Amino acid sequence: MGPALGLPLCGLIAAAPLWAAAWCEPPRQLQRVAADDFSAGLARWRLEAEDPRAVVTARGGVLDIATPAGLSLWWREPLAGDYAIRFTALALPAPDSAGPHAGRLSDLNMFWNAEEPAGGPPTPRPGAFASYDGLATYYVGFGANANTTTRLRLYDGQTRRILAGFADTPLREAGEQPMTPATRLTAGQARHIEIVSRRPTPADPVHLRWQVDGQLLFTRADTEPRLQGAFALRTTASRLQVRDFEILQCR
């Protein structure tokens, strides 16, 4: 069973991240509990690549992903409690190995709070997007489908559905809105991502916050939220460079 849906509070872009400091209230403080400076390889990640021509390196402070097909990179440490994930990502033209998709900007995506439906960490998969349909997880595809959609999805172990999103051709039945510069990848522009997962409280039922460059794109207030599990970077037929990856907990 996936989370029961409560107050959606989704799909609105905030002018400023007024909630950014408020979700970790005093006397608790944000503390960095893990990070990767991408100077010593991929020991802290598990790679699942659909195509063996994918090239992933971590050196000189940069995680560089160039792949002609689907690829997931799982952080090996499960996450729980009130936490935030932060990183900076730059989308570059997809490599020549992507064939008809070479040169495109697309798919700065991520899973988080991902588990198998019966519990436990995600088992290894071959990297194809459909192979993850059996997970229970949240997912954002930012600049997906050749940079024409940005969507928040929920996987419940059996189906995956759009909770909110933006698209060049919006799905009105899903409550989507048109794409804007804030929801689209831009060549040469680094994007600063933050994901917040926290226990809801009577005063603040919002447990999921997803922002880019200080602008809030998605929130959720589900009555049965997903609050623990694994995180993965996800992409397909693209090239991404990631820096400054860190995990903070509110303690």
Distances (CA, A) of 8 to 35, 121, 168, 218, 222: 31, 26, 22, 9, 7
Q: pLDDT digit string (tens) for 167-214?
A: 999 998 889 999 999 999 999 899 999 999 999 999 899 999 999 999
Is 9 inside any structural domain?
Answer: no
**Full domain range(s) for residue 179:** 30-250
Is 238 inside any structural domain?
Answer: yes
Is 58 inside any structural domain?
Answer: yes
Is 233 inside any structural domain?
Answer: yes
Is 7 inside any structural domain?
Answer: no
Is 120 inside any structural domain?
Answer: yes
**Model pTM score:** 0.92
Q: What pLDDT score does 178 carry?
A: 97
Q: How many domains does the chain have?
A: 1
Is 157 inside any structural domain?
Answer: yes
Distances (CA, A) of 35 to 18, 124, 243: 25, 23, 10
Element (H, E) at 153: strand 149-156
Please give the average per-residue pLDDT across 12-33, as a whole number. 68
**How many residues are there in the chain?**
251
CATH number of the domain within which 36 lies: 2.60.120.560
Please give the average per-residue pLDDT across 71-79, as a whole number. 98
Element (H, E) at 162: strand 160-167
Is 185 inside any structural domain?
Answer: yes
pLDDT exceeds 90 at position 235: yes
Phi-psi region of 119 (alpha: psi -120 to 50; beta: other; left: phi over 0): left
